[in-house]
Amino acid sequence: MDDMTPEQRHRTMSNIRSADTKPEVILRKALWRDGFRYRKNVSALPGKPDIVLPKYHSVIFINGCFWHQHPECKYASIPKTRKDYWIPKLKRNTERDETNHAELESLGWRVIVVWECELKKKQTRQECVEHVEKTLREILSDKPKEKPPTEE
């Protein structure tokens, strides 16, 4: 049984942020420090990506392990109470993620997903940032160069 009153539960849930979360700020600061320029929370794109890098035609979602059900992650547990509410809700979140990612890819965007747990510990945080930056550099180097117009 839930040990919080409805008012306590409301206050707790209302403090959960959807933007500028600690994992987002950590990754954004690291990218900015290393010269990557971005826009944040672009509502014109499907799923309102956390970080949008137009130069790399890439978007980054920093997913909370619980809310987006990171597979085989200790932070992605299902609550013991109100399973009839939580299981469908979390399933809808993961389905919406898949739909948004597919839509972004169909628009030509590269989708990168970073999990909250990857940014928790300093060692995995650094590895995660390096992996994201390496991926972005590879995307830029693989980008076809502008071809000069041909005469017909």
- What's residue 146's pLDDT? 52
In a domain, 83, yes or no: yes
Q: Tell me what percent of the residues of the chain surpass a pLDDT of 70.
A: 88
Backbone angles phi, psi at 110, to 5 degrees: -90, 130
Which parts of 55-142 are beta strand (E)?
Answer: 58-63, 110-115
The secondary structure element, H or E, covering residue 51 is strand 51-53
Examine the pLDDT at 16 and tell me if it is beyond 90: no
Query: Which CATH number characterizes residue 103's domain?
Result: 3.40.960.10
- Mean pLDDT, residues 56-65: 96
Q: What is the pLDDT of residue 123?
A: 85
First to last CA, the chain: 75
User: Across-strand partners of 12?
Assistant: none
Say whether 58 sits in a helix, a strand or coil: strand
The answer to whether position 117 is within a domain reads yes
pTM above 0.85, yes or no: no
Convert the pLDDT of each residue in 73-116 to its tens digit.
999 999 998 899 999 999 999 999 999 999 999 999 999 999 99
Count of domains forming the chain: 1
